[in-house]
Amino acid sequence: MFSHSNGTGDDCISFGPGSTQVTVKNVFCGPGHGISLGKFPKEEDVQGIHVENCTISDTTNGLRIMTWAVSSASCSASNFTYEDIVMNNVANPIIIDQQYCPYSSYPQKGPSRVKISDISFKNIRGTTASEVAVNLLCREAFPCDNVKLDGIKLEYKGKGETSIASCTNVKGISAGVQMPPTCL
């Protein structure tokens, strides 16, 4: 997908099961839920996603990878590159959520079995509408591997606060500017 503008109220772009070798470039996204990968029970691997030179504005999420909290499928999400992305007033600019559950009544019977690895966020800049600008929430049984944060500059516009990063069960590295300070 190249040179596109999308404001939906839901995911601007969503990568589904079995997506491989997909490039998204020069896209404007907002309002909505941002650019998402949704992994739900019994789905196929998703590999080789490249998102470059995009602007995300006034969304609830920016770059989001989410897996069902109770996924019974053993599958993977790997080899993702997000680079040169501008965030304008985005509530969750960078988020990996392996405890995703949109329904409060849905039982959480076990950990997500989706393996997330080889994820790179490079030159991501702009403003966040929430204090937590980077939230990497992975499962103990399937930690996220080889996550790289390189050149992250996300400024929180709230009163007297600065943006923060939060990492749980993530193995990775950081390089370059890190605002908020890295949690890797």
CATH (domain of 36): 2.160.20.10
In a domain, 121, yes or no: yes
Residue type, 27: V
The Cα–Cα gap between 34 and 100 comes to 15
CB 55 within 8 A of CB 84: no
Quick check: 156 and 183 in contact, CB under 8 A? no
Structural domains counted in the chain: 1
> How do residues 22-72 score in pLDDT, each as one tens digit?
999 999 998 888 998 875 555 788 999 999 999 999 999 999 998 876 666
**12 found inside a domain:** yes
| The pTM of the whole model exceeds 0.85 | yes
> Domain range holding 65?
2-179
Beta bridge pairs of residue 93: none
Residue 37 pLDDT: 85
pLDDT for 68: 72
Residue 38 in any domain: the answer is yes
Residue 133 is assigned to a structural domain of this protein: yes
Asked if residue 184 belongs to a domain, the reply is no
What is the set of active-site residues?
10, 33
- In this structure, is residue 99 part of a structural domain? yes
Is residue 146 a part of any domain in this protein?
yes
